[in-house]
Structure 1
Amino acid sequence: MKELYDQTKERLKTIEDYLKPNVKIHTIWECEFDQQKYPEVDPHLKPIDKRDAFYGGRTETIQLYNNLSDLKEHITKIVFNEKYKDISTMILDENIVLTEYKEKEEYSKPNPSVNVYIALFTTAHARLKLYELLDILQERVLYMDTDSCIYNDDGSEACKKVENMMGSKLGDLTDEIVSKHNANHIKQFISAGPKDYSMKLDTEKLVSCCKGFRLNAEVEEKITLDKK
């Protein structure tokens, strides 16, 4: 591909030198790709966790690729390819090399699911809604994050005002204890910071979140409300 590119640039320069200054040349580059009908799944290719992206899932950063291949393919397609940067190589054995690399910006295709403007608006609007809640609830707030808030419902006018803000329309608040966990209220709650909390609901169900840990059945036995 690079050889063809260099040849085309050389021919273009020859034409420009010959025709200048009477003719202005516009160059159109075209490339055809054959799409696989059933592409193979690469188990080593994973997107960066949305928690590590500043504005969440809609602005996930460009993926860091991991590739396991034989040594010859690795050297010819990765190390000497001008498309890639930040190349890190580890030789696992005489036949296998582990490589991590990123595509340079000029070669990166934009992710169709990424929309910075929508992410900026929704995040900013969620923050404004959160500040409105904090202003109403004051010291009743137990936990808060970008788009969530846990508070002590003491039956006050402030809490009733928050209840009236709940609904199913865009911009309304949602009671996830009811809609997501099929319960009515929280019996116990403990938190060590953002995305790090555990709570017991009135149905005796335990709900935990611990940043950096995937809470499967085995992990949930060790990271619980009682062992936090």
Structure 2
Amino acid sequence: MNNKLMFVNCQKCGEDFVREECQHSIQERSLKGTWVIEEVLKAIEKGYQIIETYEIWEYDTIQLSKDQEGLFSGMMNKFLQIKQQASGWPKHCLTDEEKNRYIDAFLDREDIKLEFSKIIENPCLRSLAKLMLNSFWGKFAQKENQNKTSIVRDCGEFFDMLTNPSIHVNTVLPVNEETLLITWEFREEAYDVSSTVNVVLASYVTALARLKLYSFLEKVEERAVYVDTDSCIYISRKGLDDISTGDFIGDMTDELNGGFISEFVSGGPKNYAYKYTTLSGEEQIVCKVKGISLNYKASQVVNFEKIKDMVLKKSDPVSVLSRQLRRTREHAVVTVEFPKGYKITSMKRKFYEDHTSVPFGFKKIKY
């Protein structure tokens, strides 16, 4: 919706970014889209109603039993084993007995055998294994019609490309008197379907991950102050359940190792900062902003206090001098220095004056 991943309560409010109380009809509010069945079942559980169904895809194999080899089981289990071993021992595993108990529990829960001698903290190896696990799924949803580059030295070939109705020539770069570098792409109706793309598999991976995250949000409800793909920052209160942590796949981990956040501020998706106190009583500040490398110079402009000031006082955007390595059209690699604007973004939800937020189209129940 609006070229963004948005979760709304009203189709029309979301499309038009309506920040007032929703006045649309049920027909206007209804969401039209494509979902995997697990998402539909969850929506029905939460009170949604299906008004109309256009098409359903059903597969012969829906759920594998534990003794069956899945489509990617071998590959996934191998890199999950490497990632888990490179994460090191959990903090509660101090004795050999506790370590062996952890290995047995992981085998019982995940059907993956960890090797005692290989469980050593190795951030680089862990990062590599994580990359192999995550980037693999993105290929299934990769854009099929990618730009292509051709080196042309023949006038007839160049003319054929310009007159070919199935392709669109994007750029023509003269290399020398005899050579052209041409970038082009197929027109939408003409490109070949890739054998590596499967949007159903990609949809299931992302949908089930969202539902897993949602299961944590159901526990904390309005106490959640920020969520991302695999993380949740929430307010802990006496008498109310906290999100449990664990050592297994799908379990949350405590990123602060027993510390707690005293102040948190967010300027939008992947744009937040917080102060936290460690177990030893030391106060630390974490600031993360997507697209801006917060080196010493940049952190003098964009930091916890600045983000807090921009959110609470709605102060003006700021500019940060950024450096990037870029490739020119001539394929030379250069360092480019340019100003990059930083501002608060709040386009995906409706915000109130007290800084609480709800989905577009949210309506309070009137008793």
TM-score (norm 1): 0.51
Give the structure 1 partner of residue 286 of structure 2.
206
Q: How does 1:1-228 map to 2 (within 5 A)?
A: 58-62=140-144, 64-65=146-147, 67=149, 72=153, 76=157, 79-80=161-162, 85-89=167-171, 91=173, 99-103=182-186, 106-107=191-192, 109-111=194-196, 115-159=198-242, 162-163=243-244, 166-175=245-254, 177-178=255-256, 184-202=259-277, 204-210=284-290, 213-215=291-293, 217=295, 220-221=298-299, 222-228=301-307
Instruction: Choose between structure 1 and 2 for higher RCO, CA contacts under 8 A separated by at least 6 residues.
Output: 2
1:169-224 Cα offsets, whole Å, 9 max, x none, are 2332233x24xxx67333432112222223344362423032xx153637852433
Deviation at 1:106, TM superposition (A): 4.6
Of residues 89-98 and 114-123 in structure 1, the stretch that sits farther from structure 2 once superposed is 89-98
CA contact 2:270–2:288 (8 Å) conserved in 1? no
Deviation at 1:94, TM superposition (A): 7.2
Give the structure 2 partner of residue 9 of structure 1.
none
SS at match of 1:226: helix
Number of aligned residue pairs = 161
Are the structure 2 counterparts of residues 115 and 155 from structure 1 closer, same or farther at C-alpha, using a change threshold of 3 Å? Answer: farther
Give the structure 2 partner of residue 48 of structure 1.
none
1:10-56 Cα offsets, whole Å, 9 max, x none, are xxxxxxxxxxxxxxxxxxxxxxxxxxxxxxxxxxxxxxxxxxxxx95
Are the structure 2 counterparts of residues 91 and 130 from structure 1 closer, same or farther at C-alpha, using a change threshold of 3 Å? Answer: same
**For 2:145 and 2:292, how far apart are their aligned partners in 1?**
20
Deviation at 1:123, TM superposition (A): 1.8
**For 2:146 and 2:224, how far apart are their aligned partners in 1?**
38
Of residues 97-106 and 115-124 in structure 1, the stretch that sits farther from structure 2 once superposed is 97-106
1:133-182 Cα offsets, whole Å, 9 max, x none, are 222212211012343321112344321xx12xx2222332233x24xxx6
CA contact 2:148–2:184 (8 Å) conserved in 1? yes
Backbone CA RMSD of aligned residues: 4.1
Are the structure 2 counterparts of residues 91 and 107 from structure 1 closer, same or farther at C-alpha, using a change threshold of 3 Å? Answer: same
**For 2:155 and 2:251, how far apart are their aligned partners in 1?**
52
- What is the identity percentage for the equivalent residue pairs of Structure 1 and Structure 2? 26
Greater gyration radius: 1
CA contact 2:175–2:181 (8 Å) conserved in 1? no
Are the structure 2 counterparts of residues 91 and 109 from structure 1 closer, same or farther at C-alpha, using a change threshold of 3 Å? Answer: same
CA contact 2:170–2:185 (8 Å) conserved in 1? no
SS at match of 1:62: coil
CA contact 1:141–1:152 (8 Å) conserved in 2? yes
Unaligned runs of 5+ in 1: 1-54
1:56-87 Cα offsets, whole Å, 9 max, x none, are 56523237436596x74798479359697343
Unaligned runs of 5+ in 2: 1-136, 279-283, 308-367
TM-score (norm 2): 0.34
**For 1:200 and 1:121, how far apart are their aligned partners in 2?**
36
Deviation at 1:89, TM superposition (A): 1.7
Of residues 123-132 and 94-103 in structure 1, the stretch that sits farther from structure 2 once superposed is 94-103
**Aligned-partner residue type, residue 295 of structure 2:** A
**For 1:83 and 1:174, how far apart are their aligned partners in 2?**
54
SS at match of 2:304: coil
